[in-house]
A and B are shown apart, each in its own frame.
Chain A
Amino acid sequence: MCVSDVPKWQLSYFYTLNKTSSSSVVAVIVGVRAAVRLIERRITTGEQISMIPAPTLNRATILRRNEFISSLQKRVPNGRVIGAEQDRRVYAGDAFMPYRAVPLAVVLPSSVREVSDVLRFCYEQGIKVYPRGAGTSLVGGAVGSEDGIVLCVSRMNSVLEIDTFDRLVSVQAGVTNDEVARAAVAKGLCYMPDPASRSASTIGGNIATDAGGARAARLGATGRHVLALKVVLIDGEVIDIGGGELEHAGLNVQALFSGGEGLIGVVVEATLRLMPPPAGIRLMLLGFPSMSGALSCAGAMSDAGITPRALELIDRQTAKVCEQFMPAGLPLEPEVLLAVEFEGESDELAEQSAAILRLADGYGTSQWLEITGPDEIARTWQSWGAALTALARLGPLRSTDIAVPPARLPSALAQIGEIAARYGLRGANLCRAGDGIIQSVLFYEPDDGDEEEGRVAAAMAEIAKTATEVGGAISAEHGIGVAKREMLELSFRPSDMALQSRLKSAFDPEWLLNHGKVFPLAEQTAAVAQPVQFGREQG
């Protein structure tokens, strides 16, 4: 396995931070070439591309590939159906390294009508459909299968309407989070959800995982900021949910899409809420000699009447790697860095930072840095937020995110460290103290092949179990995808699984949309074996 190139592949898909930077362009080219070599080798040798089992393929569909591509081209003309093998390979993976599959075809619609036509066709032919935005999923959420099409909304990337009176913006699903944020700022407003992948990830993808970011603890994740959706169901039906008002009565069918990982339908347009900007913000980076001091300080903030917009921790190794990857002046001496972003009127900010410092002193802060300019604050968060990409330069890694009740953060981190040590794996943790989110990274030696992958996967499963044992969640915001599919039983009892499965079947009886994702494979196989007619009564 060509492993030294794997991190660059992750770079190429993960962030497009500085598009004019020649080093980034080189990284993209190197990454794409490396990935193509990797996949070519696997296909040639007949090796399964991943340790994670793929669903059973529909061979009949694969045999009819050329015929289907022709039919799709009639519906999506002008070269926007990708049929050539080397071009389809580019869409074989996302930011989750261990799982790839070259799809039957890649379709890039540019209108709602085209999405509807394609879905209807696939439904009639029993072809699986995998919606995709920018492919930044960390759990294989955007990966397809050899018997399915990847439906990529990246060409549907227009901002349709921005209304400062009603404080909303309507966009097509392929618009990136960053574009929405910039469009809002240009009108003196703010789009709050700020996932680390924002420069690349699309609104469609953000909705599918209820993407958050550093500010989500205070200001809400994507679901809270969605006012309306236009969706297309698997049979091609186009449905408008909501119209831009804050609320509408009736059953909350919009809920099925928020964090729904593309299981119920394809989001093609969204109306998003915009908020007034803060009067002023500051970012403090507090250095601590130990994780426990930093965590205790974070935990004491709300009692001390301090309510930051963001509250995150990284260790020194991670800070160093971030700083190398994207210099922003991060202090590199302390063992742990706690980032505290807060807002207020300009006259109040100095007093707030003094209060934070007084608190931090009580927990042994060794060094601090206060960043006041909005551009510098943005740059610091960009560097900090690129931690995963930066860590990937150290070697191949797997990452997972869990959420625990904030009071359990110290014990959860200790347990994760113990798990990593027991499996003989090096790791790093990024911690969103305000939310109780831990993003764990485990490095592995790929030369050991599948056995090493197996150990990492087992360690990841134990980490997820750690979360559920304290009433937490196996995924805070990356979603389940394929990476955590078989762990879903940690969160769901049989009755939970049955209800969710019936809900999926009610909208997608043949489980064509995002097949193989979220639900354990055995559950999917059983559900498909007992197809449900649309609207037929259960029980």
Chain B
Amino acid sequence: METILRPAADWELASFLAEATAARTPVEIVGGHSKARMGRSREPGAIISTHVMRGIRAYDPSERMITVQAGCLITDIERELAVRGQMLGFEPLDIANVFGGEPGRATIGGVISANLAGSRRLVAGGVADHLLGVSGVAGTGEIFRSGARTRRSVAGLDLRRAMAGSWGTLAALVEVTLSVEAIPDETATLVIFGLSEEIAIEAMADAARTPHGVTGTVHLEPAMAARLWFDRLREENQAITVLRVEAPANGTALRVERLKDALRAYGDMQLLDHEASLSLWHELRQLTILAHNDKPLWRITTRPSKAFQVVSGIRRYMAVDAFYDWSGGLIWLEVPEAADAGATEIRRVIASSGGHATLVRASDEVKATVDVFEPMHSGIELMTRRLKDVFDPAGILNPGRIYAGM
């Protein structure tokens, strides 16, 4: 039977992990289980659940920061912040829908470890940039902290940022302090129909270069757009390009006018008002349009100028459905079922165009045979192994979650 530890404090984690290191027991860290099917398959071992460490420890809206335990639900954090008109600037993603799971169970520890920032990442910082302080326990059982309850601090090596995207392979997080921002007073969305992918990427890049408060740029090909719950756009049966504008009170009208003017070469645009915009971008953030099937799903990051080249390069080998975010800097790509989920061709295209591709959704059989994360070049592998060996020399934390043998 699996051992499940539900620690309430760092010292419990510390003694458990120290023992696990000595005994070389593999340990998996689990928050809400929403990302359980991401990453490579893992060998079973002991489980650390952050279920008990789920409180909000300190929050002062005037300081624009919040301190929470690692198991705190994103929904709880956002509800608490919203009461005071604040939010997490990096717009964390809840990926549960992608796996047919129940949304609303994502924890802050999981979001940090999986580095899942949403559409606003286009202009805001990423997860790491919002981490003011962390405390955690390394695989060795050592309790550490990095940063402070201040907006700026420099002291030694930045272990805070190192936690983002580490997939629980370096440490178990205990408590984090995050910077928060004011929720914009007003939101509006410009919608352009029927643009080809190449033109849509240009339109998004042009929009993101203007000073008119653009905070999200997404393009959906018709097949993806057809899956939207948001009625008004679904029924158009065309590709849609949506541009979110956020502004202080009474500010969207002016910005929308100026943005429309700057983008007039791209044709007619529809405007979604505040409520409609919130609804649409909430849906996009929930990734519901990726929830409709079990087709293999890739998450690709690249330079926007290469996005079309990447997708059309892959399209030479297989039919794909694309959801572009970050002006093309992020591409969710659904591909047909295949023994390797298209990995061979996708990796070849990425190698030539540049970028990173992660296989997000696929069967365990497929994931066991391909590189799930972008293979490391030798220099990155060297640095990655050294970082890992310091925090977790026995390799007990989520072994094999990102890379085989690590």
Contacts and interface: CB of A to CB of B under 8 A. Distances in A.
B387 A256 contact: yes
Given A240-B379, A276-B211, A299-B62, A250 B384 contact: yes
A345 B251 CA distance: 8
A199 B381 CA distance: 37
A435 B151 CA distance: 5
A405 B147 CA distance: 12
Interface string B279-308: 000000000000000000001011111000
Interface string B366-406: 00000001101101101111111111011000000010000
A243 B355 CA distance: 7
Contacts of B148: 403, 471-473, 491
B123 interface: yes
Interface stretch (B71-79, B99-107, B135-143, B236-244): B135-143
A500 B159 CA distance: 9
B260 interface: no
Contacts of A451: none
B153 to A, nearest CB: 3
A506 B126 CA distance: 27
> Most chain-B Cβ atoms within 10 A of its Cβ — which of A188, A247, A256?
A247
Nearest to B116: A247
Contacts of B121: 246-247
Contacts of B165: 247, 249-252
Contacts of A217: 151-152
A347 B258 CA distance: 12
A537 B63 CA distance: 42
B155 to A, nearest CB: 5
Nearest to A280: B211
Given A250-B402, A253-B380, A279 B211 contact: yes
Given A303-B61, A475-B155, A518-B156, A348 B251 contact: yes
A502 B304 CA distance: 38
B154 A475 contact: yes
A245 B155 contact: no
A249 B248 contact: no
> Most chain-A Cβ atoms within 10 A of its Cβ — which of B65, B155, B305?
B155
A474 B128 contact: no
Contacts of B355: 243, 245
> Most chain-A Cβ atoms within 10 A of its Cβ — which of B303, B304, B393?
B303
Interface stretch (B27-35, B40-48, B202-210, B222-230): B202-210
Contact of B212 (A263, A345, A499, A503): A345
A244 B154 contact: no
> Most chain-B Cβ atoms within 10 A of its Cβ — which of A434, A502, A519?
A502
Interface stretch (A5-13, A40-48, A218-226): A218-226
A370 interface: no
Interface residues of A, number: 96
Interface stretch (A62-70, A97-105, A127-135, A161-169): A161-169
A210 B138 contact: no
Interface in B72-121: 115, 117, 121
By DSSP majority rule, is chain B's interface helix, strand, loop, or mixed? mixed
B128 A252 contact: yes
A260 interface: yes
A407 interface: yes
Range of interface residues on B (Cβ < 8 Å)? 35 or more
A451 B12 CA distance: 48
Given A276-B210, A406-B63, A245 B154 contact: no
A246 B356 contact: no
A245 B152 contact: no
B157 interface: yes
A495 B140 CA distance: 11
B234 interface: no
Interface in B144-180: 144-166, 169-170
B152 A244 contact: no
Interface in A164-203: 164-168, 188-189
Given A238-B379, A243-B355, A278-B211, A500 B402 contact: no
Given A245-B355, A248-B356, A302-B182, A223 B161 contact: yes
A477 B152 contact: yes
Given A224-B129, A299-B62, A212 B152 contact: yes
B15 to A, nearest CB: 13
Contacts of A477: 152, 154
Interface in A277-304: 277-279, 299, 302-303
Contact of A251 (B142, B154, B208, B387): B387
A375 interface: no
B232 to A, nearest CB: 27
Nearest to B387: A251
Contacts of B156: 480, 488, 491-492, 496, 500, 518-519
B356 A249 contact: yes
Given A216-B152, A477-B154, A480-B156, A344 B248 contact: yes
Contact of A252 (B61, B162, B373, B382): B162
> Most chain-B Cβ atoms within 10 A of its Cβ — which of A168, A189, A279, A480?
A279
B151 A403 contact: yes
Interface in B253-267: 254-255, 258
> Most chain-A Cβ atoms within 10 A of its Cβ — which of B117, B160, B162, B326?
B162
Given A247-B115, A275-B123, A503 B157 contact: yes
A471 B148 CA distance: 6
Given A209-B154, A247-B121, 9 more contacts: A237-B379, A253-B380, A255-B159, A303-B62, A404-B150, A406-B64, A475-B153, A492-B156, A503-B387
Interface of A: 163-168, 188-189, 209-210, 212, 216-217, 220-221, 223-224, 237-241, 243-256, 258-261, 263-264, 275-279, 299, 302-303, 305, 307, 344-345, 347-348, 403-407, 434-437, 471-480, 488, 491-493, 495-496, 498-500, 502-504, 506-507, 518-519, 534-535, 537-539
Nearest first, the 10 A-B pairs at minimum CB distance are A473-B153, A239-B379, A255-B161, A403-B150, A279-B211, A471-B149, A473-B148, A253-B383, A224-B129, A255-B162
7 contacts: A163-B303, A165-B305, A239-B379, A246-B301, A348-B254, A499-B144, A506-B389
